[in-house]
């Protein structure tokens, strides 16, 4: 199991990840977990509204800003 987990973090931990959620709380928790698992480039964009502003994108969908 350890080898498989190491391979997973090697493959997926090398990319750049931006996380967000509706309120910003869970994305902060997710970022900390990902970093503890070996992910290097993880950024918390905060809430959905904050993420849309930082990425210059309009909120769309059922749970939009």
CB atoms closer than 10 angstroms to residue 19: 19
Instruction: Tell me if 43 sits within 8 A of 20, measured CB to CB.
Output: no
**61 is a domain residue:** yes
**Domain tally, the chain:** 1
**10 is a domain residue:** no
**Range(s) of the domain holding residue 59:** 15-65
**55 is a domain residue:** yes
Dig out the tokens for 32 from the structure: 């900390």
pLDDT tens digits, one per residue of 22-49: 899 999 999 999 899 888 899 999 999 9
Quick check: pTM over 0.85?
Answer: no
**22 is a domain residue:** yes
**44 is a domain residue:** yes
**49 is a domain residue:** yes
Query: Radius of gyration (Cα) for the chain, nearest Å?
Result: 14
């Amino acid at each position: 199991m350890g080898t498989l987990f190491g391979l997973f973090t090697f493959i997926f931990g090398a990319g750049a990840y931006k996380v967000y959620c509706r309120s910003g709380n869970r994305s902060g928790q997710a970022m900390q977990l990902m970093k503890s698992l070996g992910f290097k480039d993880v950024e918390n964009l905060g809430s959905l509204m904050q993420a849309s502003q930082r990425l210059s994108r309009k909120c769309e969908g059922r749970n939009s800003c």
